[in-house]
Amino acid sequence: MKPQQISINDYGYDLPSNRIAMHPLAQRDASKLLLYKNGVISETTFSNIDECLPANTLMIFNNTKVINARLKFTKTTGATVEIFCLEPYGNIQEYSTVMSSREPSQWKCLVGGAAKWKDEILETKIIIEEIEVRLFAKKLKKITESFIIEFYWQPSHFTFAEILEVAGKVPLPPYIKRNTDKEDTSRYQTIFAKLDGSVAAPTAGLHFSENIFTKLAAKNIKKTYVTLHVGAGTFKPVKAATMAEHEMHAEYIDVSYEAIENIKYNIGNIAAVGTTSLRTIESLYWMGVKVHENKLLDNISLQQWEVYETLSATTLTAVEALTSLLLWMQKNNKSTVFTQTQIIIAPGYRFKIASMLITNFHQPYSTLLLLVAAAIGDDWKKMYHYALQNNFRFLSYGDGNLIFINQ
């Protein structure tokens, strides 16, 4: 069966609400860790992950930083409008420029209470460095299920990142049904978060502590960083009868020349920390295929079904594809690959870069569960059954697993 023909109804399981972790554990690395290798399941704790990985492993971490994407405005009538910033709108060259800008900023947003908001400009007041700042939101237009909102502020000498830091709230996932509190500010963020842009955490990375990094280094397990800014689409339910009718969310990636080189030299020993890291590095392979076939290509963004259709006949190895991508970067004087990927990884996909995946337990009927099934086939059912029977905690603040991908 082609991935396009898959029915999401075949990828469900019963997830009791009391198995969803509503809060993080007191210690990041105290989470349980399920191991899957060649059909065999075992368990340990995250603090022992160094003992589970081969000594020559290169770990790929997503260093995106979660922004305070939820903004609340109160109208003069007393009605509340909540704006959820999804991603910058327009021709974006890099996220850092958007976040460091002091100019009006346009974003694609979800709006809670949209029916209450006509054409008026919304306003709220915040305090930054003992200075009162007035933040305004202007609705520009509606596109499908979201709106384009322009934000501007007075005085205007603060950056948009500074505005969000104070005015916004942590965008916890919709299944964590509680108000945010102080612990979320630090715990819904990895310790290596660096580049502002995500509206959801790369949750596999939440388990990693300085203690784990010390133990990994002692075993000569290397690490490198890529960036994929996680969008709210990661929680988008699949409502289509088949995956061909489901539109996968596109997300921005930002990967340095050095990181791609590092990955190239460690093919066969790559552990992706999180589905976002895995989507990024697998996308790099297919972008390398695209520039190998057309060296004059300018836009190397990846569409949802390209890898199964127009690019599927390639015989390029991972090393060859990444070499082509690096040569393309040299020719175009690019120090980073900054583009969008819409790749969907589902059963039938053959992994090109990743050998291992570290991830959390995902929602039933989700594209993330399809990705796990692509890695280990129907054994995902056995793995999730084990986790449910052995008191594993699920979803963003829950426990994790280390999967050795079936080749």
**pLDDT grade, residue 115 (50/70/90)?**
confident
In a domain, 299, yes or no: yes
Q: Are residues 106 and 224 in the same domain?
A: no
- Determine the length of the chain: 407
Q: Are residues 269 and 395 in the same domain?
A: yes
| pLDDT for position 312 | 92
Q: Are residues 25 and 44 in the same domain?
A: yes
Q: Which of 110, 137, 169 is the last residue of a domain?
A: 169
Q: Are residues 254 and 391 in the same domain?
A: yes
Q: Are residues 255 and 114 in the same domain?
A: no
Domain extent at residue 219: 3-65+188-404
pLDDT over 90 at 238, yes or no = no
In a domain, 177, yes or no: no
Q: Are 159 and 60 in contact (CB under 8 A)?
A: no
| pLDDT for position 144 | 81
Q: What is the phi/psi pair of residue 131, to 5°?
A: -110, 130
**pLDDT grade, residue 249 (50/70/90)?**
confident
Q: Are residues 118 and 234 in the same domain?
A: no
In a domain, 294, yes or no: yes
Q: Are residues 208 and 249 in the same domain?
A: yes
Q: Are residues 226 and 343 in the same domain?
A: yes
DSSP string, 79-142: -EEEEEEEEE-S--S-HHHHHH--S-EEEEEEEETGGG--SPPEEEEEEETTEEEEEEEEEEEE
| pLDDT for position 113 | 85
Measured over the CA atoms of residue 358, residue 12, residue 381 and residue 17, the dihedral's sign is positive
In a domain, 176, yes or no: no
Q: Are residues 160 and 203 in the same domain?
A: no
pLDDT over 90 at 235, yes or no = no
| pLDDT for position 75 | 87
pLDDT over 80 at 321, yes or no = yes
In a domain, 179, yes or no: no
In a domain, 175, yes or no: no
| pLDDT for position 322 | 98
In a domain, 180, yes or no: no
**pLDDT grade, residue 237 (50/70/90)?**
confident
pLDDT digits (tens, 9 = 90+) for 273-282: 999 999 999 9
Q: Which of 136, 169, 202 is the last residue of a domain?
A: 169
312: domain CATH number is 3.40.1780.10
In a domain, 183, yes or no: no
Give how many domains the chain has, as a whole number.
2
DSSP string, 288-334: HHHHHH-TT-----B-TTGGGTTTTT----HHHHHHHHHHHHHHTT-
Q: Are residues 262 and 195 in the same domain?
A: yes
* Average confidence score pLDDT of the chain: 95
Q: Are residues 341 and 219 in the same domain?
A: yes
pLDDT digits (tens, 9 = 90+) for 354-370: 999 999 999 999 999 99
Residue that has been written with the tokens 């930083």 in this structure: 65
Q: Which of 169, 199, 231 is the last residue of a domain?
A: 169
